[in-house]
Amino acid sequence: MNLIQYRKWWYIISLVIIVPGTLSLALWGLRPSIDFTGGTQIEFSGTNDKSKVEELAKADNIENFTVTTSGTGLIFRTKVADVEKEKKLKSDVEAQISGAKETRIDTVGPSISKEITRNAILMTIAASLVIVVYIAIMFRKVPKPANSWEFGAAAIIALLHDALVVLGIFSILGHFFNVEVDPLFITAILTVIGFSVHDTIVIFDRIRENLVRGSYPDFETAVTVSVNEMLPRTLNTSFLVWVILLVLYFFGGSTIKYFVLALLIGVFSGTYSSILNASPLLVSWENFKASRKKR
Amino acid sequence: MARMKNKRKNWILVTILVIFIIIAGAIDWPSGVNIKVPKPKVTFEKKVPFVQIHKNGYLIDYSKNINIRQGLDLQGGSHLVYTVDMSGVTEKERTDALASLQKVIENRVNAFGVSEPVIYTGKSGNEYRLTVELAGVKDTEQAMNLIGKTAKLDFRELDSTGQNFQKTDLTGSDLVRANVQFSQTTNEPEIAIEFNSAGASKFAAITARNIGKPVGIYLDDQLISYPNVNQEITGGKAQITGKFTYTEARNLAIQLDAGRLPMPISVAEQRTVEATLGQDSIHRSIIAGILGILVVSVFMIIYYRILGLFSTVGLGLYLLFTIALFKLFSVTLTMGGVAALILSIGMSMETDVLVFERIREELRNGRTFAHAATLGFNRAWTSIRDSNAVSLIICGLLIWAGGTIRGFAIVLALGIVVGLTTTFLGTRALITLISKRKFVSDNRLFNVEREQGSK
């Protein structure tokens, strides 16, 4: 089996998923949860009467609100925090809808979340740089013409690929299905990145070993053999993680459903990108360098 | 000779492993270990981690003291954000002032007996903020009162008539600490107070003036205690004694402490989290996690046969050790943490898979099992090292990011370290144990086809 040979197809498949996602990301962005926007979120249990709550909220002069049904009841949101109006709404809902009970009230200031988001983005950039440097150092012994920085760069491209796949899909889900991203989503993205690099490095490590051993005629063969040798372990591991995640998705708590979904997508993408993007990219790069030399 | 040495080394490893298993098992046991050591005639001021002074006369009371701490989302509780009024503080001193505020509130919440509060400060724009997370506290009103109350404390002496108390220059801002301790002579609860240097000299002057007379301690202009002065007190430390119950003494200490908040704070944000929401999530997720582990174990045993069996044993050890560490380090487990735990299981399984694939490769090359096992562990190491090092670096960076991410990163990092340790000490020792036995010469035990005519 020569997976590397069909590398153009693997690149195209990646682009088919990434391009719409990135477009959606640019056009609509992500749908941020209240943790990012700030405002008030009230959860009512024991009722599904969305229109009645909407009616009551309008009667209480609350503007710019949304009511969504959740697994356990209703979630009421508004971006403006007004304690008096909230209290009024709470008592109105509890009085006029039998069985309705306020289970949770959140008032969130966006500034705190901005800090966390900013930290997360900064940390991701920092982590990426550290990863490139780490790989460049650990792979410094790869024989010429390969260069250890190419390995670092390829790992980062695979990492970006996976982050974009998850971000893009959630942007589309957010636009069409009102799926929101919350702080756990940041955690998910970071995990996906970690997993992606993990996967990529394990394969790169085998490529390094086979290159150093030097028993293969050219770079492409060495990469092909390495990928094939590592295929069972990569697929086995990803399969195991997938099994755990799938079980979590179907049987786990509702609060982590989208977190787990992000991980499911990310782990799949991570496996795909480490086998079918990162390693072929090394080959494309070497071939490109060789063809330029010839000219 | 060398073989003998190796064999002995492995037995030492196995013995250490067994000792660890016993210790971890004792820690993991739901009711905790029940170790009670009678209290000596020394009073500890600070709580030593896991060794808590119990008022019923034990120095160490281990029973039910070690629990996995559940975060706000799992246990429910309060999440309070305060804005800090910095108008009275100069630009330069603000960072320090914020740190001392954090400390004061930490002491206060600890004194109140809330298990492991999460308190952090931050600055957004020009606004200074302080966030307090109290897992398990449902009554936000009470929590807000406890934390935010800026009571005015001052010390007063009798005027010339001997009838009324008049103010002195000693106030709550001179106090460093107030906490409950038990009297060394009577074993009654009392309040130990400590002043800063300015306060100490003021206190010395006041006590010198008032030997044999009472000094009034006022909180918000209410007389809360008027101990008699027996002698001049110069060290800046004093005890307030009286017929206090433990609770009274504790509340008084908290009130005293409340008098010395460095600057006013006001509630900006308040969340109440119902426990049931979290409880449902954690129960379902734990069951899902166990199910996932079972499926993975079955897969490992079918695919790697006897190695898979070891890996399952290793997984059991891994869980045993991780839970013990959670308890020992009081890791707060949040939903993100549960997810990180399950993910780290995946990563730990990956370590096993990497090693096992190597062993099978070497077996296919016709090596004996003992040789293949050694090579497998050695050769898999570089890729395991590199991939886990990168994960740990990322975790390290994320711990700086704060919030939910921090808890997630800590759990994941712990999980990775424990996973590596179990595989390379535990699973390896077990595999070495059987590697010299006769029966392992059958490659079918490892799901490896017999290779014909290889070296």
- The CATH number for B250's domain is 3.30.1360.200
Residues A12 and A135 in one domain: yes
B91 is written with which tokens? 């630009």
Contact yes or no for A21/A169 (Cβ under 8 A): yes
B96 is written with which tokens? 């320090």
pLDDT digits (tens, 9 = 90+) for B245-272: 777 777 677 666 655 566 777 777 676 6
Residues B99 and B168 in one domain: yes
What is the ipTM score, two decimals? 0.73
In a domain, B452, yes or no: no
In a domain, B455, yes or no: no
CB pairs under 8 A between A and B: 207
Closest CB from B281, B345, B386 relative to A201 = B386
How many domains does chain B contain in total?
A: 3
In a domain, B285, yes or no: yes
pLDDT bin (cut points 50, 70, 90) of residue A163 is: very high
Range of weakest confidence among A178-182, B143-147, B187-191: B143-147
Q: Name the DSSP class of B83.
A: E
| Residue recorded with tokens 């009470």 | B142
Give me the helix-helix angle, B404-421 and A183-213, nearest 10°: 30
Of the ranges A56-70, A261-275, B332-346, the best mean pLDDT one: A261-275
Residues A151 and A25 in one domain: yes
Range of the domain at B56: 37-66
pLDDT digits (tens, 9 = 90+) for A3-29: 888 888 999 999 999 999 999 999 988
Residues B137 and B174 in one domain: yes
Residue B409: Cβ within 10 Å count: 28
Closest CB from B124, B269, B357 relative to A115 = B124
Q: What angle do CA A268, B300, A234 make, to 5 degrees?
A: 30
Q: Is the pLDDT of residue B356 over 70?
A: yes
Residues B189 and B268 in one domain: yes
Residues B282 and B269 in one domain: no
In a domain, B311, yes or no: yes
Residue A294: Cβ within 10 Å count: 5
B360 is written with which tokens? 């099978």
pLDDT digits (tens, 9 = 90+) for A113-159: 466 677 777 877 888 888 889 888 988 888 877 888 999 999 999 99
- The CATH number for A21's domain is 1.20.1640.10
Q: Is the pLDDT of residue A109 over 50?
A: no
Residues A262 and A120 in one domain: yes
Contacts 24+ apart (CB under 8 A), B163-166: B165/B216, B165/B218, B165/B223, B165/B226
Residues B160 and B233 in one domain: yes
Mean pLDDT of B143-153: 64
How many domains does chain A contain in total?
A: 2
Residues A189 and A205 in one domain: yes
Contact yes or no for A181/A33 (Cβ under 8 A): yes
- The CATH number for A63's domain is 3.30.70.3400
Residues B43 and B26 in one domain: no
In a domain, B442, yes or no: yes
How far A292 CA lies from chain B's nearest CA (Å)?
32
Residues A158 and A26 in one domain: yes
Taking the C-alpha atoms of residue B362 and residue A20, their distance in angstroms, rounded to an integer, is: 45
Signed CA dihedral, A87, A89, A90, A92: sign only: positive
Closest CB from A198, A232, A256 relative to B335 = A256
Q: Which residues of B touch A236 (CB under 8 A)?
A: 303, 353, 357
Mean pLDDT of chain B: 74
Taking the C-alpha atoms of residue B12 and residue B15, their distance in angstroms, rounded to an integer, is: 5
- Residue B1 is predicted with a pLDDT of 45
Closest CB from A104, A183, A243 relative to B272 = A104
Residues A15 and A45 in one domain: no
Residues A46 and A178 in one domain: no
- The CATH number for B13's domain is 1.20.1640.10
In a domain, B354, yes or no: yes
- Residue B71 is predicted with a pLDDT of 63
**B185 against B354, higher pLDDT:** B354
Residues B190 and B111 in one domain: yes
- Residue B46 is predicted with a pLDDT of 38
Q: Give the H or E element holding residue B143.
A: helix B140-148
**In terms of residues, how long is chain B?**
455
Residues A29 and A78 in one domain: no
Residue type, A104: R
Residue A273: Cβ within 10 Å count: 26
Cα separations (Å) of A69 from A43, A53, A108, B193, B361? 10, 11, 20, 54, 54
Q: Which residues pair with A65 in a beta bridge?
A: A78
**B320 against A252, higher pLDDT:** B320
- Residue B56 is predicted with a pLDDT of 47
Residues A117 and A191 in one domain: yes
Q: Is the pLDDT of residue B51 over 50?
A: no
Q: Name the DSSP class of A13.
A: H
A233 is written with which tokens? 């372990």
Interface of B with A in 165-204 (CB under 8 A): none
In a domain, B327, yes or no: yes
Residue type, A16: V
Residues A16 and A135 in one domain: yes
- Residue A161 is predicted with a pLDDT of 94
What pTM was computed for the model? 0.66
Taking the C-alpha atoms of residue A20 and residue A16, their distance in angstroms, rounded to an integer, is: 7
Q: Which residues of B touch A197 (CB under 8 A)?
A: 387, 390-391, 394
- Residue A15 is predicted with a pLDDT of 93
Which among A108, A127, A152 is the end of a domain?
Answer: A108
Q: Could you give phi then psi for residue A25, rounded to 5 degrees? A: -60, -40
Residues A74 and A24 in one domain: no
Q: Which residues contact B424 (CB under 8 A, 6 or more apart)?
A: B377
Of the ranges A107-121, A175-189, B211-225, B303-317, the best mean pLDDT one: B303-317
Residues B154 and B46 in one domain: no
Range of the domain at A51: 39-108
- Residue A26 is predicted with a pLDDT of 92
Residue A136: Cβ within 10 Å count: 17
Residues B362 and B279 in one domain: yes
**B71 against A185, higher pLDDT:** A185
Residues B259 and B288 in one domain: no
Residue in A closest to B335 by C-alpha: A256
Residues A193 and A56 in one domain: no
Residue in B closest to A41 by C-alpha: B271
Which among A91, A108, A125 is the end of a domain?
Answer: A108
Residues B217 and B326 in one domain: no
Taking the C-alpha atoms of residue B17 and residue B318, their distance in angstroms, rounded to an integer, is: 12
Mean pLDDT of A257-277: 91
Cα separations (Å) of A284 from A7, A46, A215, A217, B352? 9, 59, 21, 17, 32
